[in-house]
């Protein structure tokens, strides 16, 4: 099995392109008294009524409180878009944030890969404010693409930001397992640590590669070993200037084709919670088939299956989360989107589903997942990964207490399901009981899995 030290050595020779979403994360750790104060202010009955309505966007404070309570009851991470910009002042007057740091999948992954000593990390967002630029790690291998004198130039973010670019802030409410609060006569204990994200959707921030950079995407594709694309959850159905989601999805598809134009660079799409079903369906139907790899958690698998026309299987995964159903659902997604590989991350296990003809052995695939869970455990324990040596911490974190049970259920699922045409591997996660940080753990897992998968292909001379 490939060791983490061997992967780090491989990474020093690899380059990755990232797009589209960078923002600032304002983080608030919720305590029992914070939650109770909100419930007492809005009233348990009103919250329960709004909870039954299950708002998919935040247009008023009650929408936020209802969806927050849902996240706390289930212990599952979630993100809901803030559609009313007038609520920004309400949030900032109501909460004092513990910290602010770089966010968005691109921001989190860029800093991680740069600190893991990748040869070159090219991180792109259509907006780059000074505050965002300062939150990138200041390393010479982390670069932002700009055009100078008609040519592509790669600059450190602090040399490339634009004074007039808007600032995108996501508010992240972290909660801890065991936190107790009352909703009317009901006493609720949070079952798992996690986070609830109020994601901002400024009208001026569009998920796109700006037109002046587009002609240079084939050149960027030639420079890198892989691309990780994310942020499609930020696309809206309609914009004030008359543009629609269709316009931006056409542009997004064009981006992938241009990246692959001169070199068949492998593309990973990191899926995220998308409340809008129409947007979710467009990502699944239009973006997935152009990708080689996709990463998602079990709730996102359920959402994807729902728009693919498998509502019963979707409901079973969402309500019962049985490994048998996740494997079945993963195979469906792999086949319908014609993916090379699907990576699934849950609190208790990580899984790869790929086809039998995949050139990597099951042991090699497991070593890729092992690196991924070790990176996530390191980040959860330390709060961040600042250099490759930090990974030693993650190797000492034990696998979760459900590990053996999970492996048994997985072997049962493989026996019950027709899986000869696939390679399906699973490992238990290394689980930190009292994490310093839960934000970006899924992104850390997916980035570690995809880049180590590429490293293994390169080692064999297959890529």
- Enumerate the active-site residues: 443
Buried b / exposed e over 194-210, threshold 16 CB at 10 Å, is bbbbbbbbbeebbbbbe
Q: How far apart are CA 295 and CA 269, in angstroms?
A: 7
Whole-number Cα distances in Å, 388 to 96, 116, 276, 365, 394: 33, 5, 38, 21, 11
Pairwise CA distance, residues 256 & 250, whole Å: 10
Q: How far apart are CA 444 and CA 112, in angstroms?
A: 7
Q: Assess contact for 312 and 395: CB atoms under 8 A.
A: no
For every residue of 349-402, DSSP letters joined together read EEEEEEETT-SS-HHHHHHHHHHHHHHHHHHHHHSS--SGGGHHHHHTSPBPTT
Q: For residue 238, list its beta bridge partners.
A: 244
- Read off the DSSP letter of residue 166: P
Contact 259, 220 (CB under 8 A): yes
Q: Report the alpha-carbon distance of residue 244 to residue 191 in Å, rounded.
A: 40
| Cβ atoms within 10 Å of 419's Cβ, excluding its own | 16
Total H helices, total E strands in the chain: 17, 17
Strands 15-19, 226-229: pairing kind: parallel
Distance CA 27, CA 197 (A): 9
- CB-based contacts of 328, cutoff 8 Å, min separation 6: 313, 417
Determine the Cα–Cα distance for residues 154 and 122; give it in Å rounded to an integer.
8
E strand or H helix at 151: strand 151-155
Strands 15-19 and 120-124: parallel
CA distance 243 to 365: 42
CA-closest candidate to residue 198, choices 139, 273, 267: 273
């Amino acid at each position: 099995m490939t060791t983490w030290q061997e992967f780090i050595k491989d990474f020093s020779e690899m380059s990755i392109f990232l797009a589209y979403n960078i923002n600032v994360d304002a983080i608030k750790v919720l305590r029992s008294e914070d939650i109770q104060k909100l419930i007492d202010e809005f009233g348990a009955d009103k919250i329960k009524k709004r909870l039954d309505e299950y708002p998919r966007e935040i247009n008023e404070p009650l929408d936020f409180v209802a969806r927050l309570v849902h996240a706390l009851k289930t212990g599952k991470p979630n993100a809901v878009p803030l559609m009313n910009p007038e609520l920004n002042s309400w949030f900032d007057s109501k909460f004092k944030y513990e910290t602010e740091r770089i966010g968005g999948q691109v921001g989190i992954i860029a800093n991680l890969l740069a600190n893991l000593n990748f040869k070159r990390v090219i991180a792109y967002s259509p907006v780059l404010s000074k505050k965002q630029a300062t939150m990138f790690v200041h390393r010479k291998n982390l670069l932002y693409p700009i055009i100078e004198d008609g040519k592509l130039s790669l600059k450190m973010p602090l040399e490339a930001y634009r004074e007039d670019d808007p600032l995108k802030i996501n508010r992240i409410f972290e909660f801890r397992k065991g936190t107790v609060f009352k909703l009317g006569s009901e006493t609720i204990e949070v079952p798992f640590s996690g986070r609830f994200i109020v994601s901002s959707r400024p009208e001026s921030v569009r998920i796109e590669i700006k037109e002046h950079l587009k002609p240079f995407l084939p050149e960027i594709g030639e420079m890198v070993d892989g691309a990780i694309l994310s942020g499609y959850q930020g696309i809206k159905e309609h914009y004030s200037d008359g543009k629609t989601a269709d316009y931006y999805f056409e542009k997004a598809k064009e981006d992938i084709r241009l990246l692959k134009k001169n070199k068949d660079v492998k593309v990973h799409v990191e899926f995220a919670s998308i409340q809008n079903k129409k947007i979710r369906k467009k990502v699944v139907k239009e973006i997935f088939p152009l990708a080689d790899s996709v990463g998602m958690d079990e709730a996102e698998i359920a959402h994807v299956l729902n728009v693919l026309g498998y509502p019963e299987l979707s409901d079973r995964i969402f309500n019962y989360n049985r490994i048998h159903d996740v494997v079945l659902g993963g195979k469906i997604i792999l086949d319908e989107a014609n993916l090379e590989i699907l990576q699934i991350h849950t609190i208790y296990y990580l899984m790869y589903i790929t086809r039998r003809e995949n050139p990597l052995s099951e042991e090699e695939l497991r070593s890729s997942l092992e690196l991924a869970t070790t990176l996530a455990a390191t980040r959860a324990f330390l709060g961040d990964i600042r250099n490759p040596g930090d990974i030693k911490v993650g190797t000492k974190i034990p696998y979760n207490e459900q590990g053996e049970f999970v492996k048994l259920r997985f072997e049962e699922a493989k026996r019950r399901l027709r899986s000869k045409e696939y390679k399906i591997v699973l490992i238990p996660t290394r689980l930190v009981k009292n994490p310093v940080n839960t934000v970006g753990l899924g992104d850390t897992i997916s980035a570690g899995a995809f880049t180590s998968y590429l490293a293994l292909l390169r080692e064999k001379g297959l890529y």
